[in-house]
Structure 1
Amino acid sequence: MLIRVKEPRRRTLQDVADAAGLSKAATSYALRGLRGSPETQSRVLRVASELGYTVDPVARALAGGRSSNVVIVGSLRDLWQQDLAVMLSRALAEQALSASIADVDASPAREEAVLAALNSRQVDAVVALPVDPSALYWADVPDDIRLVSIGDALAHRPDSPVVLFDNATGVGTGLRHLAELGHRTVGVLAPALPATPGRPAEMLATSLGAELGLVVTVTATPAAVGEAADATERLLRTAPRPTALLCLSDSIAFGAYAAARRVGLEVPLDLSVLGYDDSAMAPLVEPQLSTFAWDETAIVDAAVDALRTPLDELDAEPRRHVFRPDFMPRGSTASPA
């Protein structure tokens, strides 16, 4: 007869906090020697030892700066993602972590290849701006590699911390702005990526447009200026031509400017254009691009904090940070002629 021995439950930070009579935050700080009196730190360490509590080894190594290899995985075709990747690299360097950037060029195949090579590179953590967040290959990332996602929840790594964007606010504000100006036919240009629960902007555009009485046409395009210009030109040569465009990336919006010139349209007199991420180029083009600003510093801080925090300190809510955009009206939208 085979007798199965039940594995003991792994002790959590909450167990230590309850035994020590402290909050989770105070317990965490005491364990790391960051806050609390020497007596409190000693007591918490003693309680943790008695309970057999062990800190998440990945977070401990990263927090201590001893294990320092972090890869930022994303597509650098998009100008805003370029800037965010640089900000992430600098923020990680400030934490004594070594960051490298892997450009997957908007290709799921390249994204899969980069992830498959992580083990051979002795990578300790990944910050991802995923091309295909619904892909099965995310489940193949080893459990001992900390994974934090920005922009999309990973369908096959649901426990990974994620930083999300409030697309309902962004898309809704953009469409209402265009409707209030008098537009009724709107083209929505979206990055040619799969729609996921963490990336609902394309689906939102159709449903919210219908509520506002708009005829919305969603067109997929790569988030690169040249290819976006080609996709936008095809849209602008169809009938009925949209009188306004909501571009879910500033890089796409800059492509829309180029397409408008090709077909002899003037922005915003003949065509209103809205961007979506307030890249550094947005106020430099003519007319200045109306767009949405996201708090990149807070986004980067949230991702780095999630990377360095032990998993058992990340409750369900703190694992999901949602950021809301600020509308930046400039000169690229107007009432239709």
Structure 2
Amino acid sequence: MAGQRRTLQDLADAVGLSLAATSYALRGVRGSPETIHRVREKADELGYTVDPIARALASGRTGSVGVSGSLRDLWQQDLSVLVTRALRSRGRYATIADADADPEQERLIVEQFVAQRVDGALVSPVDPTATYWRLLGPEVAVVAIGDALTTRPGSGSVLFDNKYGVDAALAHLAGLGHRRIGLLAPALPSTPGRPAQVLAASVAERLGVSLIEVSAPAATADAVEVAAALLAGPSRPTGVFCLSDSLAFAAYRAARDAGLRLPDDLSVVGYDDHQLAALVDPGLTTMAWDEDAIVEAAVSQLEGPADPPPVFRPELVVRGSTAEPPD
């Protein structure tokens, strides 16, 4: 059979299992660890690889799920890894794409998912109100993480209680005595499904603090310059609330470059509780999500949207980056 493509039947015959048992073991879905290892080892020996086109023609499904987010944000990188693992445990495979906080790039990704005939899509949308989400037909299970896709009825969603998160973060700084607070927000489209910045202004007014709002790129390195401008001058804020930990790390760098000590001269609060938040010095005070529960809620909705959609609330984790403001 030199030069001829090996089939699943060839592999099943070689290991002495049924087609179904061989397929399950190859994907790691069923079978003992020994059987899974034996099947995969024999597949490598025979040079057997899955033909996704043939599988799609035979079953009408590709087994592929598109995963989209702005991957220069550190927390979304971690979330994509967790989603990929959860899909793999269910015998499904992820096609990961970086929207780069750009709606135009996100539209191209949606078109790519359509061309690849993905069975589903798990997305952290840049623009949840965009019409391009309709390009994914009703046969594709779509689940949005963070914001609902308002233009595509029938999509699943996992929603975040950002009102609580913004309130808790600003109340923490105000409770320490900060009255001039900077808000470092990602430069994303302002939509009804993403009210964090609007919420921050109303919460600050209620708490009686002055809020200085600036937008920054999602990437930490690119955001340092914006954070430095926020911290320049005698009227700089005494505390900074960042709507992602990536931006909080940019504030750390900008403060260090300006000769400011955390938390003596400046307090910083992040949002997400990325794994690095506990490792930087001082540890970052931030809002933490239950990532495992979020991923489980999202992946499970590939079988059908939840009604009502689950809503997750972040919790404040206080570390060493916040203290009373300097006199």
The partner residue of 2:136 within 141, 165, 174 is 141
Pairing of 1:178-217 with structure 2 (within 5 A): 178-217=173-212
Q: Partner of 1:236 in structure 2? A: 231
SS at match of 2:263: coil
SS at match of 1:112: helix
- Report the alpha carbon displacement of residue 129 of structure 1 after superposing the two structures with TM: 0.7
Contact 2:157 2:298 in 1 (8 A): yes
The partner residue of 2:164 within 165, 169, 175 is 169
Write the distance in 2 (CA, Å) between the matches of 1:185 and 1:331.
20
Tell me whether 225-234 or 130-139 shows the greater mean CA deviation.
130-139
Q: Deviations over 1:37-87 (max 9, x none)?
A: xxxxxxxxxxxxxxxxxxxxxxxx9xx996411010111100000000000
Q: Is residue 276 of structure 1 aligned with residue 271 of structure 2?
A: yes
Q: Partner of 1:88 in structure 2? A: 83
Q: Partner of 1:119 in structure 2? A: 114
Residue correspondences, number:
269
Contact 1:291 1:329 in 2 (8 A): yes
Q: Partner of 1:328 in structure 2? A: 317
**Cα distance change on mapping 1:308 and 1:301 into 2, 3 Å:** same
Pairing of 1:1-337 with structure 2 (within 5 A): 67-238=62-233, 240-309=235-304, 314-315=306-307, 317=308, 320-337=309-326
Percent identity of paired positions between Structure 1 and Structure 2: 51
- Report the alpha carbon displacement of residue 118 of structure 1 after superposing the two structures with TM: 2.0
Tell me whether 137-146 or 256-265 shows the greater mean CA deviation.
137-146
- Report the alpha carbon displacement of residue 228 of structure 1 after superposing the two structures with TM: 1.6
Contact 2:129 2:193 in 1 (8 A): no
SS at match of 1:306: helix
Q: Where do 5+ consecutive residues of structure 2 fail to align? A: 1-55
Contact 1:153 1:197 in 2 (8 A): no
Q: Where do 5+ consecutive residues of structure 1 fail to align? A: 1-60
Write the distance in 2 (CA, Å) between the matches of 1:325 and 1:307.
24
Write the distance in 1 (CA, Å) between the matches of 2:119 and 2:298.
15
Q: TM-score, normalised by structure 2?
A: 0.79
Q: TM-score, normalised by structure 1?
A: 0.77
Q: Partner of 1:10 in structure 2? A: none
Write the distance in 1 (CA, Å) between the matches of 2:168 and 2:63.
41
Write the distance in 1 (CA, Å) between the matches of 2:214 and 2:134.
30
Write the distance in 1 (CA, Å) between the matches of 2:81 and 2:66.
12
Write the distance in 2 (CA, Å) between the matches of 1:261 and 1:65.
56
Write the distance in 1 (CA, Å) between the matches of 2:104 and 2:137.
18
- Report the alpha carbon displacement of residue 134 of structure 1 after superposing the two structures with TM: 2.0
Contact 1:124 1:146 in 2 (8 A): yes
Runs (4+) of structure 1 exceeding 3 A deviation are 64-67
The CA RMSD over aligned residues, in Å, is: 1.7
SS at match of 1:163: strand
- What is the one-letter code of the residue matched to 1:259? A
